[in-house]
Amino acid sequence: MSLPGLDLTQPSADNQFAPAPPTQISLSKGSEWRFEVAFGTVIRAKLLAGTAELFGTELAPSQTYTFSGTKGAIYTWHGCTLEVSAGDTGPAVDGLAPGGMNGAIACGLGAGGCQSEYTAEETPMVEYANVHFALETMRQEAKATGKDGPRVLILGPANAGKTSVAKILTAYATKVERQPIVINLDPNEGMLSVPGTLTATAFRTMIDVEEGWGSSPMSGPSAVPVKLPLVYFYPMQNALEAEGSIYRPIVSRLALSVMGRMAEDEEARETGIIVDTPGILSQGKPGSLETINHIVTEFSITTILVIGSERLYSLMMKNYDNKPTSSASAVASDERITVVKLSKSGGCVDRDAAFMKGVRESQIRTYFFGNPIPSTASAALSLSASSTTNVTLSPHAQQLDFNSLGIYNYTIASLDEDEDDYDPSQFGASDAFLPGGGNDAEIRPTQQQDETSRAMPLPGIVSSIEGATPGTAANVPLKKVSPPAPSTLANSLLAITNAPPTASAVDIRDASIMGFLYVADVDSEKGKIRALAPVGGRVPPRAIVWGKKWPGEVVGLVG
């Protein structure tokens, strides 16, 4: 499945830049080099001298790091010299002479390979590092007194640098041999998983410099130790969807698991947790304060970091500062919440919809296919193993019988906002606007279905589980998708839960996720779907939740 521009890598406007040789960038103490790399563009960075870190994770000297489709910043506490060059064929070019030729760039782009890159002198890194040290102070205390370590909540509007702060705090914590549990509550961007997931992961080893947070376990080894996430599926972009009635129970469930881990895992308990949130919670939307309160309560948050929103900061101060935490021992130990304001980094850039889409697609692709870009390890290994040592994964394609799968879908009216879209295959939907009369257009009866309150422009959404557990389940807008297989399944993700296919809607909603299927094709007539599974063998007989609206369609994952 490849057409011009439809390749695995999206072409970028920067494609037409002429190559240039490696560029050296010297950073003075306490400054950072900010760069943006488009999808489909690869740049390589190497630390020649000094020390440098990317969101807290230190770069190894003389190692080549590869970046693509990212916006990042390399900071230095001590000053450093970086060498930046365009991605080259690296180990793929035959006959790289052992030693010495490693840095040779056959077709370099130079720093010009970045969409934008510049050096910034002013950064809030001192603040961020001090937050780490303050947390470290609390951890030492926790260790001494047997209390729980700090539970940090990071709030701030979209693109304020929340995830970057989470990464920095995590990286510093692992650097001093702590083991924080990092929780991502932002369905826009996955952490160690695809978008649409809420995850918790204990970080003990280094965060991958090149690959976001790193990689979840694979059947083979990984140059950077893999991280083991606990994954829940929230197939909506907006955490406040349906007044948070779906988001909050999942958060509660996640919090329960995390507390369970904290209770048993001494190191995790001492280190505490770091919670990253979606920006929408900090943008004054109705229901967001309730959701914040929910998170603060469920995770017994001790420290609230507010980035880039004065208004939210004062609100949080008012609501939480110096209030007792919700932890069971709070009363005894007089544990109180602190609210701290952090400066937003000047390097925060708005990531437009197209870029975020690229991020989503690359996360989904990485889940199934691994990381196609040669990584550090491959650069390090290229002397011994000239083949590509970057991890390429081979998912298994298989035909599945639609009827044998218990596929559920969230049906929330407000989700179907694109119903006003013109859709050629839904011809006739717009007939109401046309003058009646002597042409060949007629209203298709099936269109009426669209107008129902739980509008699903699909045939065959029947509420089959509502009766199972009346009361609670009735509130969960999770409906089994009944045959025929809707064609809109194609190119979307299906999350395999750990719940049995006949479980109640509540159980399915709250179940953690085993993994994802990607639907390549749907044959509605035969009731077959062709799907990509990460692992070979039979698809486990579990309830499956359809990510219809989110993470949405990814076209061209398989041919």
Please state the residue numbers annotated as binding site for ATP: 32, 71, 159-164
Q: Site for another protein (CB under 8 A): which residue of 120, 143, 159, 225?
A: 225
**Closer of 162 and 479 to another protein (Cβ):** 162
Q: Which is nearer to another protein, 176 or 462 (CB)?
A: 176
The Cα–Cα gap between 161 and 348 comes to: 6
Q: Amino acid identity, residue 320?
A: Y
Output the known binding site.
32, 71, 159-164
Total number of residues that touch another protein (CB under 8 A): 180
List the structure tokens of 492. Answer: 């979307």
416 part of the interface to another protein, by CB under 8 A: no
d(CA 534, CA 544): 15
Report 176-195 residues binding another protein (CB under 8 A).
Answer: 176, 179, 193
The position carrying tokens 């719940």 is: 499
CB of 470 to another protein, least distance (A): 26
Residue 22 CA to residue 44 CA, distance in Å, equals 9
Among the listed residues 443, 452, 462, 500, the single contact to another protein using CB under 8 A: 443
> With CB under 8 A as the contact rule, which of the stretches 155-163, 291-299, 404-412, 437-445 interacts with another protein?
437-445
* Helices 310-320 and 288-298: angle between axes, nearest 10 degrees: 50
| Interface with another protein, residue 168, by CB under 8 A | no
- Encoded one letter per residue, x for contact with another protein by CB under 8 A and - for no contact, window 455-484 reads ------------------------------
* Among the listed residues 40, 324, 484, 501, the single contact to another protein using CB under 8 A: 40
Q: What is the C-alpha separation between 134 and 547, in angstroms, rounded?
A: 40
Q: Helix, strand or coil for residue 132?
A: helix
Site for another protein in 346-375 (CB under 8 A): 354, 367-368, 370, 372-373
DSSP result, 398-418:
EEEEGGGSEEEEE--GGG-GG
The whole-angstrom separation of Cα 487 and Cα 494 is 14
Among 41, 64, 123, 188, binds another protein (CB under 8 A): 41
> Which one, 179 or 238, has the nearer CB to another protein?
179
Which parts of 277-336 interact with another protein (CB under 8 A)?
303
CB 480 within 8 A of CB 411: no
Between strands 396-401 and 528-533, the pairing is antiparallel
Cβ 287 to another protein shortest distance, Å: 27
116 lines the binding site for another protein (CB under 8 A): no
Say if CB 430 and CB 470 are below 8 A apart: no
Task: Show contacts with another protein in window 383-402 (CB under 8 A).
Answer: 384-385, 387-389, 391-396
Distance, in Å, from the CA atom of 412 to the CA atom of 418, rounded to the nearest integer, reads 13
Binding track, positions 490-509, relative to another protein; x by CB under 8 A: -x----x-x-----------
Tell me if the bond preceding 124 is cis, omega within 30° of 0.
no
Nearer to another protein, 96 or 292 (CB): 96
Other beta carbons within 10 angstroms of residue 322's beta carbon come to: 9
By CB under 8 A, the residues from 49 to 68 that bind another protein are 49-51, 58-63, 68
